């Protein structure tokens, strides 16, 4: 894996600097709530987006990339001229069973941010569990990447420079696509990197079948997932939050170490987001809080430049 490594000292330095960028009133709310899974706290970032944030960005919604009603994507692109822009493809979370690519604020803010950074942002929907179990979402991501590679040039994007980004269950779907070569096709040659924001695989399967992974322990257990990701050839960026649920924090730390098992050059770029929780980490994207997006851009730019 061609990864830009982050040493422990550098990670601590980035965490400290990132913490100072969280607006103090929001940081206080996050710390007071602790490991809350209430998305309402994350919505505190919405007022930081002025109406002008949407100026100069064109949005095309609900383009079909496959036959299912959920096979739909949105495209965000800056109105400035030029072609060959890198593509950021975002996969929403929702516990494998819910969620949508379009909200009143989140996750549109992520593809909006991509467009304002000179990229083409793509948000996708995908088939949901339990009606659609493994490997439905991985297959959908494959189809979406193939559609982007075949069509994004018409929207100003570079079909050979795609970065995937998933949050929560969406991060699992991205990780599964990256780590299971049998789920990929020729389209994967265009994927130059993958961002995993708070993914989670359990230490061992629970007593009940997983809504998406079913009863197959090899699909949903942390040791096997980490082993597969450590063998992946697509560069990875990993981030998780101080106030993520403890199980996610534990997995994030384990994954960061496990990805380095092939040596320092195999490590993922890893960011630990202080004063953030499971929702604020994504909802802050595009605001003056660059806890995540600052290091992310630093990682993406050389990766995409080398792919020109």
- In tens digits, the chain (308 residues) has pLDDT values of 222 233 333 333 334 344 448 999 999 999 999 999 999 988 899 999 888 889 999 999 999 999 999 999 999 999 886 789 999 999 999 999 999 999 989 999 999 999 999 999 999 999 999 999 999 999 999 999 999 999 999 999 999 999 999 999 999 999 999 999 999 999 999 999 999 999 999 998 878 999 999 999 999 999 999 999 999 999 999 999 999 999 999 999 999 999 998 666 679 999 999 999 999 999 999 999 999 999 999 999 999 988 88
CA–CA dist 62, 183 (Å, integer): 24
| pLDDT at position 9 | 30
The per-residue pLDDT for 262 is: 65
Q: Which helix (H) or strand (E) holds 197?
A: strand 191-197
Tokens at 104, concatenated: 């009143």
Domain residue extents for the chain: 8-306
At residue 307, the pLDDT reads: 80
pLDDT of the residue at 8: 34
If one looks up domain 8-306 in CATH, what number appears?
Answer: 3.40.50.1820
Which residues, 6 or more positions from 221, have their beta carbon under 8 angstroms from its beta carbon?
Answer: 201, 202, 203, 204, 205
pLDDT of residue 18: 42
- Looking at residue 106, its pLDDT comes to 94
- Cβ 73 vs Cβ 123: under 8 Å: yes
Position 109 scores a pLDDT of 96
Residues 193, 235 contacting (CB under 8 angstroms): yes
pTM here is 0.92
Residue 265 is predicted with a pLDDT of: 67
User: Between the CA of residue 80 and those of 15, 56, 57, 75, 89, what are the distances in Å?
Assistant: 34, 8, 9, 15, 20
Predicted local confidence at residue 205, as pLDDT: 80
């Amino acid at each position: 894996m061609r990864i830009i490594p982050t040493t422990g000292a550098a990670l601590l330095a980035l965490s400290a600097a990132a913490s100072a960028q969280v607006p103090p009133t929001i940081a206080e709310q996050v710390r007071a709530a602790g490991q809350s899974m209430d998305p309402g706290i994350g919505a505190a970032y919405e007022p930081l987006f002025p109406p002008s944030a949407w100026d100069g960005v064109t949005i095309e919604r609900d383009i079909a990339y496959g036959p299912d009603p959920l096979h739909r994507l949105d495209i965000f692109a800056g109105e400035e001229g030029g072609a060959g822009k890198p593509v950021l493809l975002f996969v929403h979370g929702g516990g494998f069973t819910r969620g949508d690519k379009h909200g009143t604020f989140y996750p549109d803010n992520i593809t909006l941010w991509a467009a304002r950074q000179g990229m083409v942002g793509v948000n996708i929907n995908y088939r949901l569990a339990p009606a659609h179990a493994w490997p439905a979402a991985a297959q959908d991501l494959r189809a979406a990447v193939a559609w982007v590679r075949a069509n994004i040039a018409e929207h100003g994007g570079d079909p050979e420079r795609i970065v995937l980004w998933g949050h929560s269950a969406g991060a699992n779907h991205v990780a599964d696509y990256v780590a299971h070569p049998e789920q990929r096709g020729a389209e994967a040659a265009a994927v130059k990197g993958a961002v995993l924001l708070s993914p989670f695989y359990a230490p061992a399967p629970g007593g009940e079948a997983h809504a998406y992974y079913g009863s197959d322990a090899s699909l949903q257990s942390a040791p096997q997932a980490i082993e597969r990701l450590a063998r992946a050839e697509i560069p990875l960026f990993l981030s998780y939050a101080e106030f993520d649920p403890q199980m996610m924090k534990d997995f994030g730390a384990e994954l960061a170490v496990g990805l380095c098992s092939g040596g320092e050059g195999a490590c993922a770029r890893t960011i630990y987001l202080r004063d953030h929780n499971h929702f604020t980490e994504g909802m802050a994207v595009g605001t003056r809080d660059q806890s995540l997006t600052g290091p992310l851009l630093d990682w993406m730019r050389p990766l995409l430049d080398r792919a020109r």
